[in-house]
């Protein structure tokens, strides 16, 4: 990796120092602006835009501007995600993509549009273990941990709280199945009893039959791995109405205040959940101030990761010295990997100068120090969440 970084930075120094023609870089932002996670998408997109704003405020990229084009993956519709990615790449001409947001949408967009076109995607939030195994020609990356890890963490958390049996309902897609399988395996390995684990379909108005089957298992602890503005909210509301369960847990797709819409807040007070957190580095505190100054929530779900995805892509293009799609993946790995002088969120001017001098850089971001493995995955952190006075609040990190 060190030799790769030296070669890339040396080549980039030659091209960046005296660019023949200024080039704008167009980054696609592909998120679920409609669908079951539509309330989570705007803060994620705003964080990615903030990264590009910082680039433009400090001298721009490749002699031009860092621009963005929005695409709507819908999260739940793989065909819509593929169509949106195709439009971004082949009609709007984006050079790389931040996204997609949900796992199934990410896999569909990558396989259908991005991989055939040689376009790098960096997802801030796709967490299914299935993302790891996509035959992606090293074009699909993510800056948050896999649910293979989150499932283990959740299992340990539940067992530590004395929850020794569970009933799992999961949305029938890559995200839901991957999370449920990882959780069930780790939970049973730790001595817990998975009384039932069943898939449900997104978009129904009535899940009472599914809830009857789950309640018949005998467990009073319901695990809902679904979406806050979709099936997860409906299942939670109807489960509370039926009164068959005592304890509720939601995965990261449930962590949105929209979850409690139409539900008596007292019925979900203290409900448990988890979501991606941040591996604390100097960059996390820097981002907190940058986001706050810009009027953004610095700990919005997947916001820090979206900032990092956009900033890393900008750094990769600046180091590569042009907007050609070929080689973006190698440059991305280089700017994210030690050794090199540390670059923190917002430090575009510093990074640009170092790249022009042919020096190595190592971005330590808002969500952590993203060292990509062979599959384009990173280590990550999971935090415990709970509902207090009708809104989600962070309890603290989990191991």
| Reported confidence tier of residue 227, pLDDT bands at 50, 70, 90 | very high
Cβ atoms of 228 and 37 within 8 Å: the answer is yes
Mean of the pLDDT values across residues 132-137? 98
What domains appear along the chain, each with residue ranges and CATH number?
25-144+280-369 (3.40.50.2300), 147-269 (3.40.50.2300)
How far apart (Å, rounded) are the C-alpha atoms in residues 384 and 126?
A: 19
Could you read off the pLDDT of 164-204 as tens digits, one per residue?
999 999 999 999 999 999 999 999 999 999 999 999 999 99
CA dihedral 352, 357, 359, 361 (to 10 degrees): 0
- For the chain, what is the mean pLDDT? 93
Q: Is the preceding peptide bond at 99 cis, omega within 30 degrees of 0?
A: no
Q: Whats the size of the chain, residue-wise?
A: 399
Could you read off the pLDDT of 98-110 as tens digits, one per residue?
999 999 999 999 9
How far apart (Å, rounded) are the C-alpha atoms in residues 270 and 268?
A: 6
Mean of the pLDDT values across residues 38-48? 97
Question: What is the percentage of the chain residues whose pLDDT exceeds 90?
Answer: 89
Cβ atoms of 273 and 246 within 8 Å: the answer is no
CA dihedral 306, 310, 315, 316 (to 10 degrees): 100
Q: What is the pTM of this model?
A: 0.91
How far apart (Å, rounded) are the C-alpha atoms in residues 383 and 180?
A: 18
Asked whether residue 288 carries a pLDDT value surpassing 70, the answer given is yes
Helix (H, G, I), strand (E, B) or coil at 239: helix
| φ and ψ of 103, to 5 deg | -65, -50
Could you read off the pLDDT of 250-280 as tens digits, one per residue?
999 999 988 998 899 899 999 999 999 888 8
How far apart (Å, rounded) are the C-alpha atoms in residues 305 and 365?
A: 8
């Amino acid at each position: 990796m060190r030799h790769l970084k030296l070669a890339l930075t040396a080549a980039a120094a030659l091209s960046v120092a005296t660019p023949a023609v200024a080039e704008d870089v167009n980054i696609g932002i592909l998120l679920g602006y409609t669908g079951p996670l539509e309330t989570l998408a705007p803060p994620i997109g705003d964080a990615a835009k903030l990264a590009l704003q910082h680039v433009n405020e400090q001298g721009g990229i490749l002699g031009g501007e860092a621009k963005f084009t929005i695409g709507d993956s819908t999260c739940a519709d793989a065909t819509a995600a593929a169509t949106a990615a195709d439009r971004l790449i082949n009609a709007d001409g984006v050079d790389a993509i931040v996204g997609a947001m949900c796992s199934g949408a990410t896999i569909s967009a990558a396989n259908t549009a991005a991989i055939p076109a040689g376009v790098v995607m960096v997802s801030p939030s796709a967490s299914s273990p299935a993302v790891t195994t996509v035959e992606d020609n090293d074009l699909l990356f993510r800056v948050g941990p896999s649910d293979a890890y989150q499932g283990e963490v959740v299992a340990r958390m539940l067992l530590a709280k004395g929850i020794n049996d569970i009933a799992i309902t999961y949305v029938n897609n890559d995200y839901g199945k991957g999370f449920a399988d990882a959780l069930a395996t780790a939970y049973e390995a730790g001595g817990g009893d998975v009384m039932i684990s069943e898939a449900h379909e997104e978009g129904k108005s009535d899940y009472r039959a599914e809830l009857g089957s789950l309640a018949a298992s005998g467990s009073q602890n319901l695990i809902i791995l679904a979406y806050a503005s979709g099936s997860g909210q409906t299942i939670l509301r109807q489960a509370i109405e039926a009164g068959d369960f005592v304890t509720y847990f939601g995965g990261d797709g449930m962590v949105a205040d929209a979850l409690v819409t139409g539900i008596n807040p007292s019925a979900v007070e203290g409900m448990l959940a988890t979501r991606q957190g941040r591996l604390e580095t100097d960059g996390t505190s820097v981002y907190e101030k940058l986001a706050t100054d810009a009027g953004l929530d610095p700990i919005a779900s997947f916001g820090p990761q979206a900032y990092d995805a956009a900033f890393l892509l900008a750094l990769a293009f600046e180091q590569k010295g042009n907007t050609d799609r070929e080689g973006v993946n190698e440059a991305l790995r280089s700017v994210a990997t030690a050794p090199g002088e540390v670059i923190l969120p917002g430090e575009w001017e510093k990074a640009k100068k170092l790249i022009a001098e042919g020096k190595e850089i190592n971005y330590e971001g808002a969500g952590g120090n993203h060292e990509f493995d062979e599959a384009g995955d990173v280590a990550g952190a999971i935090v415990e969440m709970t509902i207090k006075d009708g809104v989600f609040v962070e309890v603290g990190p989990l191991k």
